Structure 1
Amino acid sequence: MPEDDLQKKNNERKPARVPTDPFDTVIRSFNDFFHYPPVKGFLQSIDEFFQMPFSAVPFHVDVEETAQEYIVTAELPGVAREQIQIGIFRDRVVIAVENREELTKSDDADGSFRRRVTKKLDSRSISFPKAVLEQKGKATFRNGLLTIRLPIDKGKQLRIEG
């Protein structure tokens, strides 16, 4: 066999380019993991969720912290005081607004009566980094603005005996 043919045959037997860095294979596999289904579809749905505006948030809430208390304000235009429920827990407050709609329709000619009740509960939960004094909390509601004042529980100071 001529030397040129032998050299060609040896070149054909060589494996494909071997990565010089052992981490190339790991990185390539990791990259492929995120670019092919099912992971790719899952990641795209997460991206779409964060790109859309948060229209699912039922109402706007602001929280301010002072040295003595947390002041929570919620914008609730068009909401009646009776629709609002406030739950105070050791480290959070839950504001819920119940929207109830009732549609009644009667037809004397048919002798039929139709009633439809729709109930929707929107709520927001606000967590605090420090505990609050639940029993001393106060809430006011004026012109569509709910204000909740919750004193911060400072605990008891322990004196060191000498």
Structure 2
Amino acid sequence: MSEKSKNEPFGDLMKSMNQFFHEKPVKNILQSMDDFFKNPFPNSASFHVELKEKDENYVITAELPGINREQIQLDVINNYVKITVKQLNIFTTEDENQQITKKQQSFQQSTRTVPLPHHINEKKVKATYENGLLTIKVPKEKGKRISLDGNE
């Protein structure tokens, strides 16, 4: 038995396993699995949303590049803020006389719902949209402090 074999009893097995996982068919399958878990729904029209808690309010930001203000709908339902983005794409093909020969329409709608820990007063919510960034500020509700009665 060589000196190397004594120190690495599973050396040959590990080498075989490494070769197996780096060969084309297995490597492609593993890469596909990695890609799936990075983006499980590649054709979904989702968008990034972030929630931050500040002293006086909650700030929700959504990245919406290429979206017009008219395509955004905000709803407040109990303690949820719902952001909906609607996209209608129309593609037309014209002939040499500028007559439409083919017209296609596609409609996409994406929705993200952000829960907050308290009921939201929709009259106090402020939203702005600039350069593809939607910012929603939801004031924190101040509860009523209750004093404790007792003999102590």
- Scaled to the shorter chain, the TM-score interval is 0.5 to 0.7
CA distance in 2, matches of 1:90, 1:71: 17
Give the alignment's TM-score, normalised by structure 1: 0.58
Q: Is the 8 A contact 2:45 2:108 kept in 1?
A: no
What are the residue-to-residue correspondences of 1:6-155 with 2, within 5 Å?
52-54=37-39, 55=42, 56=44, 58-107=46-95, 113-155=101-143
CA distance in 2, matches of 1:69, 1:90: 16
Q: Per-residue CA shift, 1:108-130, capped at 9, x if unaligned?
A: 88x87543221100111111123
Q: Name stretches of at least 5 consecutive residues in structure 1 with no aligned partner.
A: 1-47
TM-align CA RMSD? 2.9
Q: Name stretches of at least 5 consecutive residues in structure 2 with no aligned partner.
A: 1-32
Count of matched residue pairs: 114
1:5 — aligned with what?
Answer: none
Q: Is the 8 A contact 1:131 1:152 kept in 2?
A: no
Secondary structure at the aligned position of 1:52 is classed as: helix
CA distance in 2, matches of 1:57, 1:108: 35
Give the C-alpha shift of residue 57 in structure 1: 6.6
Q: Is the 8 A contact 1:90 1:134 kept in 2?
A: no
Q: Per-residue CA shift, 1:105-151, capped at 9, x if unaligned?
A: 45588x87543221100111111123322210000011111100001
One-letter code aligned to 1:70:
Y
